[in-house]
Amino acid sequence: MSTLAGIDQVFSALADATRRDIVRRAIDGTEGVAELAEHYPMSFAAVQKHVAVLERAGVITKERTGRRKVVRTNLDGLLIARRLLDTYEDLWRGRYGRMTDLITDRKETHA
């Protein structure tokens, strides 16, 4: 459940250097919110908000262990963004594919 989010949320979540760094750090899935917060020159609450944004976007998840909540990045969330970019790339190559088709088909030479 959860983990589902819109493309808007995923991209805007990743459009912030602090949040991207949190995503990177959370790949190991070892640090809690407080530990993460120590890495950044801002208040704990600010980092907690960043984590909340990432969680709402489905890019990270939180798992309770003891009194902490360990933050772990969710690859499926990131894949939403990646698939879109892949689609763009495919369309792009398709466009060039079509262009080369035209060229090779009709043996056109000049502009």
Partner DNA sequence: CGCTGATACAACCGTACGGTTGTATTAATG
Partner DNA sequence: CATTAATACAACCGTACGGTTGTATCAGCG
Binding site for a copy of itself (CB under 8 A): 7-9, 11-12, 14-17, 20, 23-24, 27-29, 73, 75, 78, 81-82, 84-86, 88-89, 91-92, 95
Position 92 contacts DNA (CB under 7 A): no
Q: Which of 32, 54, 57, 73 binds DNA (CB under 7 A)?
A: 32
Handedness of CA 70, 76, 81, 85 (dihedral sign): positive
x/- string (CB under 7 A) for DNA, residues 58-87?
Answer: ----x-x-xxxxx-----------------
- Cβ–Cβ under 8 Å, residues 39 and 76: no
Position 3 contacts DNA (CB under 7 A): no
The option from DNA, a copy of itself, none interacting with 66 (CB < 5 to 8 A, set by class) reads DNA
